[in-house]
Amino acid sequence: MSFFTKLRERLGKTRTSLADGVRRIFTGRGRVSDEVYEELEELLIEADVGVETTQQIIGDMRRTARERGIDDAEALYAVLKEEMAALLDNGSKQANWTVESGPHVTLIAGVNGSGKTTTAGKLAQKLREQGRTVLLGAADTFRAAAVEQLTIWAERTGAVIIRQQEGADPAAVAYDATDAAIARGVDNVIIDTAGRLHTKINLMEELKKIQRVVSKRLPGAPHQVLLVLDATTGQNGLIQAKIFTEALHVDGIVLTKLDGTARGGMAVAIQKQLGIPILMIGVGEGVEDLQPFDARQFVDALFGEGGN
């Protein structure tokens, strides 16, 4: 099921009203006026793109419109979508799950409640479906029952799980997981870490230690670090991404919970201000709902459009 079918199915009215908003701004307006830009600004802000990034995008649009001599509102809309898709397009950058030799290690990080464990579980299932062997590292030793939650995912997907008791050193779990994966010749390791607010210095240090310890056991690992971000997050997402990226070698973002009415526009700001790409999106509870990111589809969805 495509992202749009899913969205259409789930959103119904809300999505329609948003699409109506976009249509109202651009359709039948004839010439581009300041009013069009103002309404567009509101639309982007409401999608959580943020004031600064919105103003930059609109500034770019005004310039393009001037340069190309566009004065028709509908033509301008096409320009907007095109520019945003270009901004978000990662080109060849996609989530990667293979490495020449030894296990491929992915580290999952993010603030509390963004959906890390669920993402880890879904990734395990996807990889298992591709016939790969997977080992889950339960390095969230802090939250009550987080290990149990991941264990249930391991049982569901037929992945191996490496776990210790609650309160154990997460770096030790990550080390053990990597070690066990090497010994067993597992294809993929996914390490689930505890949620942490980026403002907690000690917890960010702990994350660095996990990364360090894993690379010590297996040079080059973790091969991929994914930052899980909740699409309902507002402007704080930008600083979250910044600080997590300063602590870890973040390859990209998994934008979760896009099946609600949140547009995840802060990911646009993250891409524009920090250059961190969105690699995957979560559009539902099912395993198939974790999908590779597609810039054009995302922009359409951002404006509540597309997918007939």
Partner 1 sequence: MFENLTKKLESAFKNIRGQGRLTEANMKDAMQQIRQALLEADVHYKVVKKFITDVQDAAVGQKVIESIHPGQMIVKIVHDELIKVMGERNAPLAEASAPPTIIMMVGLQGQGKTTTAGKLALMLKKRGKKPMLVGADVYRPAAIQQLEIVAQQAGVESFSLGVNANPVDICLMARGEASMRGCDTLILDTAGRLHVDAEMMAEVRQISAQIKPHEILFVASAMTGQDAVRSAKQFHDTVPLTGVVLTQMDGDARGGAAISLIDVTGCPIKFIGTGEKLEALEAFHPGRMADQILGMGDIVSLVEKAQQVVDRDQAIDFQKKARKGDWNLEDFLAQMQQVKKLGSFGDLIAKIPGLNKMMPQGLEGAEDELKYTEAIILSMTPKERRNPVIINGSRRRRIADGSGTSVQEVNALLKEFEKMKKMMKQMMRGPKGKPPRGFSPPMPGF
**What are the residues binding partner 1 (CB under 8 A)?**
10-12, 14, 42, 45-48, 50-52, 111-115, 121, 142-146, 148-149, 151-153, 166, 197-200, 230-237, 239-240, 257, 259-263, 265-266
What is the rounded (10 degree) CA torsion for 60, 56, 25, 39?
-140
Q: How far is CA 291 from each of CA 50, 68, 143, 144, 198, rounded to the nearest angstrom? A: 25, 36, 27, 29, 26
Q: How far is the CB of 202 from partner 1 (least distance, A)?
A: 11
Q: How far is the CB of 230 from partner 1 (least distance, A)?
A: 6
- d(CA 284, CA 2) in angstroms, rounded, equals 11
- d(CA 136, CA 124) in angstroms, rounded, equals 8
Judged by beta carbon, residue 55 or residue 215, the one nearer partner 1 is: 55
Q: How far is the CB of 14 from partner 1 (least distance, A)?
A: 6
Place of tokens 């899913």: 6
- Nearest CA to 302 out of 22, 36, 37, 115 is that of 22
Judged by beta carbon, residue 46 or residue 205, the one nearer partner 1 is: 46
- d(CA 80, CA 1) in angstroms, rounded, equals 27
Judged by beta carbon, residue 104 or residue 257, the one nearer partner 1 is: 257
- d(CA 194, CA 177) in angstroms, rounded, equals 15
- d(CA 244, CA 254) in angstroms, rounded, equals 13
Judged by beta carbon, residue 14 or residue 33, the one nearer partner 1 is: 14
What is the rounded (10 degree) CA torsion for 221, 224, 227, 231?
-160
Q: How far is the CB of 50 from partner 1 (least distance, A)?
A: 7
Judged by beta carbon, residue 46 or residue 129, the one nearer partner 1 is: 46
Q: How far is the CB of 286 from partner 1 (least distance, A)?
A: 13
As beta bridge partners, residue 136 has 161, 190
Judged by beta carbon, residue 198 or residue 223, the one nearer partner 1 is: 198
